[in-house]
Structure 1
């Protein structure tokens, strides 16, 4: 049997009890790339407020639930559906699904665990939990990592996360964006509206309180606004954010992945000023690379990892992520210097097209699956 024929007959199912079926990494990048490579791919994930065009991936959705019921009911539902799907490979995308790995393997499935975030660091950053509770949960998360390491293959979003897993069966697949014709054909940066943009989840930890406060700084450029799109966490943070930001912000709410990308092509500067939590300093936020793909200069937290990636590309300004004044002044620098804005825009677009895009990551994912499924 040829490799292409084998791929067409091999069923893979991506599974998430937490992510919506419209998720960029889970569906529009990984699942779609495997489908485009010839595999028979399905997806079991959570219903979404938005939609995306049909892909070659067969989608089954489950209802959204609150955290506690999700941990019990949704995890059970998606695993049962994954088993019933008959898929030979089950690709799990959430830490809460790790306990199902021994069962799935006992049933003869090959299991891939996809580590989007550094679990122990993520737990330690949850400041709303008592310190002792955080330490205990972080220790328990290390047990989960040990269990996840028994999967047949592991995919991680960053090199730092990969260090927690056996190198021989781990592949790093970074959250770089797919390139789009719409980005290439978008307006030149100096002809776009006078707007800074932020897309993605919005919370204090992701710097949105600082971003809102920056709009009221005297150094924030006159005539400029901020466009934001995404979900607020917690939901009541939206009211606080809007009150801080005043009338210089436009809140677009939840939009489709394509609409979020379109929004970037109507802005001049992209903001990614995550706060310096354990999980964030070694993260690779997909929005940072989506800004670049849209030819948008980046104003970023001055984390060593981010500086090592972006500084030599000459497409970003690094700021103290805790300072509204520093953020406002960085945006003002772009407003006052068209040459700087144009140069950083061109360099961002060049870097996105030459290296920081999904094409190379898709090739790595397909190669990883080739080795994983070679004997199936």
Structure 2
């Protein structure tokens, strides 16, 4: 760790240091703009490219230990960094907002989730504890509102915070050169891709049952990458790695390897179940699929239909109907022109609308408002763990 204080420290006791939003977009974007940036986040089994961000890792812990010992360790390291601006990323860190402000730091809180709705959908929140959990979530929202600025990932989340100090920075992907040279999906292997966490309310039943549906096209396979925790999908992780099998589980991959995987697929699926949190979400994987030129099969949510319906790039399905999801894949199999048109239109929308460039400009503007432009002699640091 370097001894000179960074301009900005990003702090997370829950996210791995390789996280797409926290590190590869927000922290890396600030470093590329000339700010000196440190990231305090959780250790990870995977790695990622050099970004100019100085990385300090803390141990992975179980939920209760993470929310107590992990959050305390992360905040202590943030205080010791002497950074002028602390950018916090987890609800369990909200107690540090007044402390950091008393110490003279500018504080930005990144609201990734609509907390009251998100709490209700957590598997560990029972019916008995749901009401106090939602009350606690509302208290967190009030504490977050005392930060100097709030960064919200969606418009719905932004609505919960004071308009005068809240900016919208959506989870759109950073575009890569690799996608620019991608071939049309009909010329790729017959693969359906799902990347990211696969849990009960993220469509695990539909994804796990996809290749067993009579509607699923012959000769296609499903490729998964990420963390699988749902019981109905757990067997997928136990299968041997074999490209001849209808399901291939790659485990956890680096962010770059995950996006490379998409370049070898034709269709991406996002079949989240209609929980209160998901109905207004903007999952990064959806826009990564589009950037890679995939046709997409998505839950028929009103927000997603408003975003994509007019773009002619997606098939909307009931996420609880496995045969409907499989049938959407079969429709692409039988109509290569439809497949390529949806892939081409999705790619164009990713370039023109759903990219990180505009979101990064908003975030950098926020940093300039709070601590000014990067000072002469400020420099990006070497990445690492």
Classify the TM-score, shorter chain.
over 0.9
Deviation at residue 240 of structure 1 after TM alignment: 4.0
Q: What is the match of residue 94 of structure 1? A: 90
Deviation at residue 354 of structure 1 after TM alignment: 1.0
CA distance in 2, matches of 1:300, 1:333: 14
SS at match of 2:125: coil
Match status 1:167 vs 2:167: no
Alignment match of 1:324 (pick from 322, 328, 339): 322
Q: 1:226 to 1:88 in 2, by over 3 A?
A: same
Q: 1:128 to 1:12 in 2, by over 3 A?
A: closer
Match status 1:35 vs 2:17: no
Q: What is the match of residue 379 of structure 2? A: none
Is contact 1:203-1:237 (8 Å) kept? no
Q: What is the match of residue 239 of structure 1? A: 234
Q: What is the match of residue 298 of structure 2? A: 300
Q: 1:145 to 1:302 in 2, by over 3 A?
A: same
Q: What is the match of residue 289 of structure 2? A: 291
CA distance in 2, matches of 1:297, 1:85: 45
Bigger relative CO (Cα 8 Å, ≥ 6 apart): 2
CA distance in 2, matches of 1:126, 1:180: 33
Q: 1:374 to 1:11 in 2, by over 3 A?
A: closer
Deviations along 1:115-171, one digit per CA (max 9) or x if unpaired, are 101111011112543323111110111011101100001001000000000010111
Q: 1:59 to 1:9 in 2, by over 3 A?
A: closer
Q: 1:238 to 1:273 in 2, by over 3 A?
A: closer
TM-score of the two chains, using structure 1 as the length reference: 0.94
Q: What is the match of residue 204 of structure 2? A: 208
RMSD of aligned Cα (Å)? 1.9
Is contact 1:112-1:151 (8 Å) kept? yes
Structure 2 alignment gaps of length 5 or more? 376-385
Q: What is the match of residue 367 of structure 2? A: 369
Deviation at residue 242 of structure 1 after TM alignment: 5.6
SS at match of 2:86: strand
CA distance in 1, matches of 2:117, 2:127: 13
Deviation at residue 10 of structure 1 after TM alignment: 6.2
CA distance in 2, matches of 1:247, 1:345: 25
Deviation at residue 248 of structure 1 after TM alignment: 1.4
Residues paired across the two proteins, number? 367
Match status 1:277 vs 2:272: no
What are the equivalent positions in structure 2 for 1:318-357 lying under 5 Å apart? 318-357=316-355
Is contact 2:13-2:70 (8 Å) kept? yes
Is contact 2:6-2:38 (8 Å) kept? no
SS at match of 1:186: coil
Q: What is the match of residue 3 of structure 1? A: none
Is contact 2:312-2:342 (8 Å) kept? yes
Q: Where does structure 1 differ by over 6 angstroms across 4 or more consecutive aligned residues? A: none
Is contact 2:110-2:152 (8 Å) kept? yes
TM-score of the two chains, using structure 2 as the length reference: 0.92
